[in-house]
Amino acid sequence: MTAWLTLAAVVLAAAGFGLALARSGRFGGDRVVAAIVTTIATLLLLFVFYPVGRALLAALHDEQGGFAPALAFARLAAPEIWSLACVAGGPRCGVAIHSLTLAVLAGLGSTALGLVLALAALRGGARPAGWVRLMSVLPIVTPPFVIALALVVLFGRTGLVTGWLSALFDIPRSRWIYGLPGVLLAQLLSFTPLAFMILHGALAALSPTLEEAAQTLRAAPARVFRTVTWPLLRPALANAFLLGFVESLADFANPIVLAGNYEVLSTRIFFAIAGAQNDPARAAALATVLLAFTLVGFALQQRWLGRASYVSVGGKGDGGLHAPLPAGLRRGCIGLGAAWIVFTLACYAVIAAGGFVRDIGRGDMTLSLAHFGAGFGLEWRDGAPALTGSAWPSFFTTVEVAAVAAPLTAIVGLLAAYVVARQRFAGRRAFEFLTLVAFAVPGTVIGVAYIVAFNVPPLELTGGFGILVLCFVFRNMPVGVRAGIAALAQVDRSLDEASATLRAGTWRTLRQVLLPLLRPAIVATLLFSFTHAMTAVSAVIFLATAKYNLATVYIVNRVEAGEYPLAIAYSTVLIVFMGSVLLVVQKLAGESRLGRRGAAELTAGH
């Protein structure tokens, strides 16, 4: 309670400082803007910069808390991190080399597959609306471990495909799925839909004008694609690669199931804290390396894009047609895309069936609801329902945390977006940087940072419900900020000016004019925050406790105990639950219809 009172006092002091700045003439004298900026900036410093800074400083201290830079250098330069023994024929390299290799391969592979699927969807000549929607929704509702568990069931030593190959072709059973190939395959299945969404949107937004101009000059389809389409896709390709690269570095779920002896930074950090060694300083050193890789990835992306302009849509409308793909490329994209979709659906089919049979991993396909009963059992006792399944507490805690974190994320993110997009004040660029920097910090690093920073006074928050909510709010806030900025860019400033002319204050303008127009951004932020809080694991696996256990942490424990069928059953429940939430929210929210086009469409419908 003392920690929360301290936090409340800090927040009130920040708001008061903002009001004092407004009275002195800063922020144009606008008290609302000043209070928003100072309060959110203080919260970001407290829950992003302070914990990350504490974690990085922890790497410079010994077990007794003494300052030991030599020991920190020894930790950072340890052979277990940077060894290149595998290049010289040794059994394995250091965890940093493993992580970097995996991240580069996952980034390149997911980007390439995402581009193939996007080209097949938009330039393949078919009508892929159904599977495009499916590929867009899958990464949102998929919990961690689902893909990894499916691959184990299919290709493990006792897996379905392994057994069939052994019986039909006498191919020896092996453990090839445990290591780099298995983790890479799982990450490609997990991250390709994200790359697809980025590249699909970019490809759909390209104006056909430049492609038509190249065709007018008699350029062949292959040359049009190589010299016009491909260069315009560079920003989307860079973003897709960066997303796959960063997600691979931070990924904990797939390596914990499939890595075997191929250790990576995320799992090594986990065992440095949760294992028998309990060495937070060593975990902080490993987290420093992980954060450095992420920041270098951001820097290289910006350097590759440079300052070139990639604008292809101007103020003039056009009704042209996109250039056709080269015939060979089109056939290759359709064939590879179809094969990948079938493989992805096969993995999800394994998950869908795995909870309803006795043991799909060992080929026992006898129908059974025992796993759902063990996790989500429900009995009638004395005329009242009683929840007997072991998964119910973690499920309800996760839903409660997500339900509290989602609206807070939307509120903080959209308020920050408003002052960034609509206000001009000294330090605006620095404030925008503060709001977005959490995106560059991997979840594993955030988890370690919160353990180091909030396990001691004056803000001793670990072990409680609130720390889980705070972790999700500031982890997901950048999404709300970007969604709000994008939505505000489509709302003309004349509405703000008209409201001000009618003597409405900033708060009233925001509440009555802009907020109704930002409904799509609010819904998107709420959905993302809720579903991500339901499925995240890397940041909160260090923060969950026996009292406040989470769904993903429960699944981790079941996987480590070898109870794959129960983990699969729980994953199925989460997929169905989150899919239902998405459908209900979309039904309730509907579609925004603004301006004359919406009215005309409604009139035409009658």
Judged by DSSP in three states, 140 sits in helix
Q: Bigger pLDDT: 226 or 173?
A: 173
Domains of the chain with bracketed CATH? 2-72+387-605 (1.10.3720.10), 98-261 (1.10.3720.10)
Listed in order, strand segments (DSSP E) in 310-423 are 357-359, 364-367, 378-381, 384-387
- pLDDT on residue 601: 42
Q: Kindly tell me if the per-residue pLDDT of 133 is higher than 90.
A: no
Q: How far is CA 455 from the centre of its chain?
A: 26
How many Cβ atoms sit within 10 Å of the Cβ of residue 251?
29
Q: What is the pLDDT of residues 92-126, one digit of tens each?
A: 899 999 999 999 999 999 999 999 988 888 877 66
Q: Kindly tell me if the per-residue pLDDT of 418 is higher than 80.
A: yes
- pLDDT on residue 440: 74
Q: In 3D, which of 340, 182, 352, 159 has the Cα closest to residue 254?
A: 182
Most confidently modeled range among 162-166, 231-235, 584-588:
162-166
- pLDDT on residue 13: 95
Q: Kindly tell me if the per-residue pLDDT of 444 is higher than 50.
A: yes
Min mean pLDDT across 128-132, 151-155, 218-222, 518-522 is at: 128-132
- pLDDT on residue 128: 63
- Kindly indicate the confidence band of residue 394, based on its pLDDT and cuts at 50, 70 and 90: very high
- Residue recorded with tokens 């997500």: 402
Q: Are 575 and 144 in contact (CB under 8 A)?
A: no
- Kindly indicate the confidence band of residue 307, based on its pLDDT and cuts at 50, 70 and 90: low
Q: What is the pLDDT of residues 11-59, one digit of tens each?
A: 999 999 999 999 998 888 889 999 999 999 999 999 999 999 988 888 8
Q: How far is CA 399 from the centre of its chain?
A: 18
Q: Are 261 and 116 in contact (CB under 8 A)?
A: no
Q: Are 426 and 438 in contact (CB under 8 A)?
A: no
Q: Kindly tell me if the per-residue pLDDT of 396 is higher than 90.
A: yes
Q: What is the pLDDT of residues 547-598, one digit of tens each?
A: 899 999 999 888 888 888 899 999 999 989 988 888 887 777 654 444 444 4
- pLDDT on residue 218: 73
Q: Bigger pLDDT: 580 or 606?
A: 580
**pTM, to two decimals:** 0.82
Q: In 3D, which of 536, 403, 547 has the Cα closest to residue 462?
A: 547
- Kindly indicate the confidence band of residue 602, based on its pLDDT and cuts at 50, 70 and 90: very low
Task: For CA atoms 452, 454, 460, 465, give the dihedral sign.
Answer: negative
CA distance 365 to 332: 36
Provide the phi-psi class of 549: left if phi over 0, else alpha when psi is between -120 and 50, else beta: beta
Interval 321-350 mean pLDDT: 85
Q: Bigger pLDDT: 473 or 280?
A: 473
Q: What is the pLDDT of residues 76-85, one digit of tens each?
A: 888 889 999 8
- Kindly indicate the confidence band of residue 381, based on its pLDDT and cuts at 50, 70 and 90: confident
Q: Kindly tell me if the per-residue pLDDT of 599 is higher than 80.
A: no
CA distance 586 to 592: 11
Integer CA distances (angstroms), 367 to 353, 363, 376, 559, 572, in order? 9, 12, 17, 21, 16
Query: Which ranges of 206-279 does DSSP label H, i.e. alpha helix?
Result: 209-216, 221-224, 230-232, 234-250, 253-258, 265-274
